[in-house]
Amino acid sequence: MAIIERPSSEVAIAGGSTIGVKPSEALGVFKRPVASTSWRDWIVTVDHKKLGIMYGVAAFFFFIVGGLEAVLIRMQLIAPNGKVLNADQYNQMFTMHATTMVFLFVMPMAAAFANYFVPLQIGARDVAFPRINAFGFWCFLFGGIFLNTAWFLGGAADGGWFMYAPNSSTLFSPSHGIDFWSMGLQITGIASLTGAINLIVTSLNMRAPGMKMMRMPIFTWMVLVVQFLLLFAIPVITVALFLLTFQRSFDATFFDVASGADPLLWQHLFWIFGHPEVYILILPSFGIVSEILPVFSKKPLFGYPIVALSGAAIGFVGWGVWAHHMFASGLGPVSVTVFSMATMAIAVPTGVKIVNWVMTMWGGKLQFTVPMLFAIALVVQFTIGGLSGVTHAVAPSDTQQTDTYYIVAHFHYVLFGGAIFGLFAGFYYWWPKMFRKQLSESLGRWNFWLMVVGMNMTFGPMHMLGLQGQPRRMSVWTEARAGEGFFNLGFWNRISSIGSLVLSLGVLLFIINVAYTHKSKKVAIAPLDPWDGRTLEWMTDSPPKEHNFDTIPTVNNLDEFFHRKYAQDGTTHEITQVATAEEVLAEMNSHPDEHIHMPSRSYWPILLALALPIIGYGLIYNRIILAVGVAMVVATMFGWAMEPSTAADDDFDPPAPGDGGGHTKELAPLG
């Protein structure tokens, strides 16, 4: 077995007619980086697993930032006439809390899991475009940092996460916060778009032999649906953000009512993106849960094709419901009716999924491990959030609820109780795969229960507050107007604020759990297959080697790994174990593939990504910086284009004649 991971510097001009570049001379500036174990390897890596971990770490950092912002908001509202924040700071706080949680935590955390596990689940050695993958990560990281530097440069964005026009114009928001916001999101949007193309091509094109579409694990399926949503939704927000930037930086008139503009244009563009975005946030967690429930119920997923296709149906119908965010804006009765009905329709495939999960657990031998607890909590909490969502679909009721805390309660139930619980289930489930050690179950239980109690304490009372009429985004409340008795706003605000502290404690316990697991000598190395898994990612080492599989498995079944471990007796129909995970792996590794050719490391992704925030600062502050940024983009793109994605090597199999992309790791010079 020859694993080629780096260019051998002694190779002169190698390759045949198609590969004619000696990599280290590609542009004559940088030598192509080679493998190392130092921190530098993380900068230049194109390994999907390392990028997945970096996505995860960075996203978790932003989760803490966004969480602290949320706690500050709740502390402001814990008592009447709150003094923690002034009104201006409060506006920035809720805007950045939402922006951070949506764009810098849930999306990239889903990308972390997708990056790490999609190639493993479909039996691939890497993603289709490894350098673009690295570029996507750096765009997300630099975009997120850029967005947050606004705090130190005159104040962050303060228009709410949907940044409605004309409130977002320089007249009402004179600081640079919204400029940072729009350009920061533009940069993270590039990350999402490139990631989407990459992961779609990966799951369409890089599947192991026999891994048909309808044998792909549900997590991969849901990620695929999400990437299609991103592929088509990101350009819409790109247009909206460009219009906003042009208005704020170059005095364009797009949302200037005095010039005859219609501010609803922004709302349409934002929500055409924004509603698919909602499914972008939740579907990866649905996928994670659909992996976990069967494993800990000891049963196959109930109605696998229906779960896969209902996910696709959610993604599809999700394009036709955006205006339900705008029922109160005077769309007219026809539009409201159409969008109201479409919104009710989308509850159907979602309900189908919930039925499938419940049926998966029905009659199973349930094991209440921490990942299973989080998964069950998702089913319960998401259902509650889904039900309050149906009340929004009813336009008259929605008119009453618009911009009240009832909305806040709803989307926190689906996003915290749904998306975030799913991600936590993923942490506990896949931790032993990624880091060889299993997170402590007992600490995990504390983590779980504190988060469930905290989340219901924080967001449950908000239903009450909203129905009592407390407006969303109100920076203070006064005792005089808080009302009496059971419906006293002060009482429920206090409960909610205390709940947010419980919730924070739960998250803190997760961090403690991670530290404990990795510092303590008492925690042993996890077994190869700690949960008795069903899918391909468990059929390799923990953590997987850089090339993932010594032998690319040939897939004959849905839940291939399960079928290699267990067999059904022909007469008694009893399912018995025929092999352990170790035996399956040893069997596979007994005849390793030859000529494993991994993509080579590269400096260009990080350099190109670094140029983008420079352009952002240039647009805001100084045209010279702008020119530097643009020059850097052009230079790095040329460097990138000239560098073959896989280093030339004598051991390289020439592409099949007449076949366009004979080698799957090739990249046209397009960036």
Partner 1 sequence: MSTATDHSATAEHSSEHTEEHHGASDKQYIVIALILAALTAIEVSTYYVDFGPLFMPTLFVLMTVKFVVVVSYFMHLKFDNKLFSYLFYSGLILALTVYIGALSTFKFFLQKG
Partner 2 sequence: MADTAIAHDHDSDHGAHVTSTGLSNTKLGMWMFLGSECLLFGGLISTYMLYKGRVNSGPQPDQIFDIPFTSVSSFVLLMSSLTMVLAVSAAQRKDDRNTNLWLTITALLGATFVGGQVYEFTAFYREGLGFTTSLFGSSFYTLTGFHGVHVSVGIIMLMALVGMISRNRVPGNKAESVEMVGLYWHFVDIVWIVIFTLVYLIPS
DSSP 8-state symbol, 207: P
Of 204-212, 286-294, 517-525, 634-642, which part binds partner 1 (CB under 8 A)?
204-212
272 binds partner 1 per the rule CB under 8 A = yes
58 binds, among partner 1, partner 2, none (CB under 5 to 8 A by kind): none
Please, is 354 exposed, middle or buried when counting C-beta atoms within 10 Å of its C-beta (0-12, 13-18, 19+)?
middle
Instruction: List, in sequence order, every residue forming a beta bridge with 103; answer none if it has no partner.
Output: none
Q: Please identify which residue in 80, 320, 351, 655 interacts with partner 1, judged by CB under 8 A.
A: 320
612 binds partner 2 per the rule CB under 8 A = no
Shortest separation between residue 438's beta carbon and partner 1, angstroms? 35
Residues 107-166 that bind partner 2 (CB under 8 A): 123-125, 128-129
Residue pair 603/44 in contact (Cβ under 8 Å)? The answer is yes
Shortest separation between residue 129's beta carbon and partner 1, angstroms? 16
Specify the DSSP element, H or E, that contains 587: helix 581-589
Shortest separation between residue 402's beta carbon and partner 2, angstroms? 24
Shortest separation between residue 117's beta carbon and partner 1, angstroms? 22
261 binds partner 1 per the rule CB under 8 A = no
246 binds partner 2 per the rule CB under 8 A = yes
Residues 622-651 that bind partner 2 (CB under 8 A): 634, 638, 641-645
Q: Please identify which residue in 150, 206, 342, 372 interacts with partner 2, judged by CB under 8 A.
A: 206
Question: Cα 249–251–255 angle (5° rounding)?
Answer: 105
Q: Please identify which residue in 37, 81, 258, 332 interacts with partner 1, judged by CB under 8 A.
A: 332
Q: Please identify which residue in 14, 19, 611, 620 interacts with partner 2, judged by CB under 8 A.
A: 19
Q: How far is CA 50 from CA 117, 283, 293, 328, in A?
A: 11, 23, 27, 46
574 binds, among partner 1, partner 2, none (CB under 5 to 8 A by kind): none
Of 2-10, 139-147, 253-261, 284-292, which part binds partner 2 (CB under 8 A)?
253-261
Residues 32-51 that bind partner 2 (CB under 8 A): none
Task: Say how far apart CA 165 and CA 168 lie, in whole Å.
Answer: 5
Map tokens 């109201």 to a residue: 340
Question: Cα 403–388–394 angle (5° rounding)?
Answer: 75
331 binds partner 1 per the rule CB under 8 A = yes
Q: Please identify which residue in 232, 435, 487, 638 interacts with partner 1, judged by CB under 8 A.
A: 232
Residue pair 74/62 in contact (Cβ under 8 Å)? The answer is no
CB proximity list for 385: less than 8 A, separation 6 or greater: 410, 411, 412, 413, 414, 415, 417, 418
Q: Please identify which residue in 34, 68, 231, 312 interacts with partner 1, judged by CB under 8 A.
A: 231
299 binds partner 2 per the rule CB under 8 A = no
Query: In this structure, what token pair is assigned to residue 295?
Result: 């494993």
Q: How far is CA 344 from CA 249, 359, 417, in A?
A: 40, 23, 21
Query: In this structure, what token pair is assigned to residue 187?
Result: 């940069």
268 binds partner 1 per the rule CB under 8 A = yes
CB proximity list for 484: less than 8 A, separation 6 or greater: none
Residue pair 603/33 in contact (Cβ under 8 Å)? The answer is yes
396 binds, among partner 1, partner 2, none (CB under 5 to 8 A by kind): none
657 binds partner 2 per the rule CB under 8 A = yes
661 binds partner 2 per the rule CB under 8 A = yes
Sign (positive or negative) of CA dihedral 248, 249, 253, 254: negative
CB proximity list for 52: less than 8 A, separation 6 or greater: 112, 113, 114, 115, 116, 117, 434
Task: Say how far apart CA 84 and CA 176 lie, in whole Å.
Answer: 23
312 binds partner 1 per the rule CB under 8 A = no
Binding-residue pattern over the window 529 to 568 for partner 1, x denoting contact by CB under 8 A: -------------------------x--------------
CB proximity list for 125: less than 8 A, separation 6 or greater: 119, 547, 548, 549, 552, 596, 598
Q: Please identify which residue in 16, 210, 471, 669 interacts with partner 1, judged by CB under 8 A.
A: 210
Task: Say how far apart CA 84 and CA 79 lie, in whole Å.
Answer: 10
Q: Is 662 helix (H, G, I), strand (E, B) or coil?
A: coil
332 binds, among partner 1, partner 2, none (CB under 5 to 8 A by kind): partner 1
236 binds partner 1 per the rule CB under 8 A = yes
Q: Report whether the peptide linkage leading into residue 543 is cis, meaning its omega lies within 30 degrees of zero.
A: yes
323 binds, among partner 1, partner 2, none (CB under 5 to 8 A by kind): partner 1
Shortest separation between residue 411's beta carbon and partner 2, angstroms? 25
322 binds partner 1 per the rule CB under 8 A = yes
Residue pair 331/299 in contact (Cβ under 8 Å)? The answer is no
Nearer to partner 2 by C-beta: 215 or 564?
A: 215
Q: Please identify which residue in 8, 9, 36, 253 interacts with partner 2, judged by CB under 8 A.
A: 253
Nearer to partner 1 by C-beta: 205 or 478?
A: 205
Residue pair 50/546 in contact (Cβ under 8 Å)? The answer is no
655 binds partner 2 per the rule CB under 8 A = yes
CB proximity list for 441: less than 8 A, separation 6 or greater: 369, 370
> DSSP states of 15-48 as a string?
SSSS----GGGSSSSSPPP---SSTHHHHH---H
Q: Which amino acid is at 182?
A: S
Residues 340-399 that bind partner 2 (CB under 8 A): none
Shortest separation between residue 581's beta carbon and partner 2, angstroms? 22
Residues 95-114 that bind partner 1 (CB under 8 A): none
Q: Please identify which residue in 10, 484, 569, 659 interacts with partner 1, judged by CB under 8 A.
A: 659
Nearer to partner 1 by C-beta: 332 or 485?
A: 332
Using CB under 8 A as the criterion, which residues of the chain lie in contact with partner 1 when the complex forms?
Answer: 204, 209-210, 212, 231-232, 236, 262, 264, 268-269, 272, 319-320, 322-323, 331-332, 335, 554, 658-659
